[in-house]
Structure 1
Amino acid sequence: MEKYNKDILCISETRISGSGSIVITAPETLHQFHFFYSGVEGNSGLHEVGFIMNQRTRDALLEWEPVSCTLARIRLKGNPANVSIISTYASTRDATETTKDNFYGELQQLSSSIAARDYLIVAGDFNARVGPSDQTTRQIL
């Protein structure tokens, strides 16, 4: 994070079950980072999402909401407005239509609950595919 001058990362596939937060110390610099993760207890951790932030961003944290293994939300104090960030991990195309509909319904509901005056950022892995797959794209991807 420091090398690329990033204050916050939205991450997916954390491989940690349950929800919570821990402090991580970078071995090279001894700077501390705060890791907030959202998931289901006893789950494999494959789809869990979260945020990693530096101390400055942690100091601006107003709210942390672990929603599910595919959605989490934070709210940061900002100027001129607060910032809400949703970290996502969408189902792959192999998922059932019901699973996909549930995810997007939950995302819509969460997005609608954000204060109207907040800036909203939705980030994460949407497992998007554009256009049909062919021999060339299979070799690239």
Structure 2
Amino acid sequence: MMMTLRAEKALTKWRAVNSRLLLVKFKTKQCHMSIIVCYKPKYDSHEERKDEYYEELQSVINEIPMRDMKIAIGDFSARVGRNNQGIENVMNVKGLGEVANENGANFISFCSTNNLVNGGTLFHHEDIHKYT
């Protein structure tokens, strides 16, 4: 993870959970912030591997205090679509494609369970810029 010298001074802890997850904690003037850098297994990976990834990610989320600002950033190999009916608290209508793929559905479920918002769907971007 790259950061400015100012951010480095605010750094309180970092931990490589595994080769796909990194937890970085900062203390800012306003709050404590926990950032999880994520790299999900490829779309065509075995289901067990994907399940293990989400279990590990959930365990990291569970160890972060409720009062911390939580940011999960990275590649989730997910397409969430534009349909946000019933999940307006998780995403807006600016996703890629019309419907979510399997990874997208898993990602939406994870966000919903953990009271997280998919920031990638909040603002308009050209479709070509929505791919990772």
TM (normalized to structure 2)?
A: 0.59
Aligned ranges for residues 21-32 of structure 1 at < 5 Å? none
| SS of structure 1 residue aligned to 2:3 | strand
| SS of structure 2 residue aligned to 1:52 | coil
Q: Distance in 2 between matches of 1:86 and 1:58?
A: 16
Q: Distance in 1 between matches of 2:39 and 2:46?
A: 15
Offset at residue 117 of structure 1 (A): 1.5
> Can you give the 5+ residue segments of structure 2 that lack an aligned partner in the other structure?
82-98, 102-126
Paired residue for 2:31?
81
Paired residue for 1:112?
62
Offset at residue 110 of structure 1 (A): 0.3
Q: Which amino acid aligns with 1:105?
A: E
Q: How many residues align?
A: 85
Greater relative contact order (CA < 8 Å, ≥ 6 in sequence): 1
Higher normalized helix content (fraction of residues): 2
Q: Distance in 2 between matches of 1:118 and 1:92?
A: 29
Structure-2 change in CA distance of 1:59 and 1:96 (3 Å): same
Could you give the per-residue CA deviations for residues 61-84 of structure 1, whole angstroms, max 9, x where no partner exists?
000111101000110011232100
Paired residue for 1:128?
78
| SS of structure 1 residue aligned to 2:38 | strand
Structure showing greater radius of gyration is 1
Kindly report the root-mean-square deviation, in angstroms, between the aligned alpha carbons of the 2 structures.
2.0
| SS of structure 2 residue aligned to 1:64 | strand
Q: Distance in 1 between matches of 2:100 and 2:70?
A: 31
| SS of structure 2 residue aligned to 1:95 | coil
> Can you give the 5+ residue segments of structure 1 that lack an aligned partner in the other structure?
1-50
Q: Distance in 1 between matches of 2:53 and 2:66?
A: 22
Runs of 4+ aligned structure 1 residues displaced above 6 Å come to none
Paired residue for 2:4?
54
Offset at residue 132 of structure 1 (A): 8.1
Offset at residue 91 of structure 1 (A): 1.1
